[in-house]
Amino acid sequence: MKKTFKIIVSVLILAVLAVSVVMLSACNKQDENKEKLVVGLECGYIPFNFTQQTDANGGIKISNADGYANGYDVIIAKRIADALGKELVIVKTEWDSLVPGVSAGTLDLIIAGMSPTAQRRESIDFSNAYYESNLV
């Protein structure tokens, strides 16, 4: 009886160790992918985010298009990436593709002057507002 119990306990311990190793290796792969902060912007909403031809004034290379992104939203994105210790990657994204991009995991976040509507809150989370305007 004791021998059977020891065998069962040994098998359970080995199973737990095997699962732990698999889970830890998966976590490590996720961490490697998370060295970058992927931000979706339209790159066409002056002065908040826009496309320019050079990296002048702190422009960031757009990863999926020609040109460099700059503007207030890009400055905010840089500060977030710096605070997290990550490399900033700007992805030029059409307005209608921003929320689906975050939902699908291809974008880590959106910085694009997006109002937190009830419908959008169903799909994504919002930070506190960093800019408010009564112009619209």
- What is the residue-wise DSSP string for 121-135? HHH------S---S-
Longest dimension (CA), the chain: 79
Nearest residue to 69 via CA among 43, 88, 42: 43
Least confident among 26-30, 57-61, 85-89, 95-99: 26-30
> What number of other Cβ atoms are within 10 A of residue 30's Cβ?
8
The pLDDT, as a whole number, for residue 133 is 78
Take residue 45 and report the two structure tokens written for it: 């909403």
The pLDDT, as a whole number, for residue 20 is 46
Most confident listed range (16-20, 87-91, 121-125): 87-91
**Residue 134: pLDDT band with limits 50, 70, 90:** confident
Mean pLDDT for the stretch of residues 66-93: 96
Question: What pTM, to 2 d.p., does this model score?
Answer: 0.72
What are 50's strand-pairing partners? 44, 70
**Residue 109: pLDDT band with limits 50, 70, 90:** very high
Beta strands 60-61 and 68-70, pairing class: antiparallel
Amino acid letter for position 36? K
- Per the prediction, the chain carries an average pLDDT of 83
The pLDDT, as a whole number, for residue 47 is 93
pLDDT at residue 9 greater than cutoff 80: no
pLDDT at residue 19 greater than cutoff 70: no
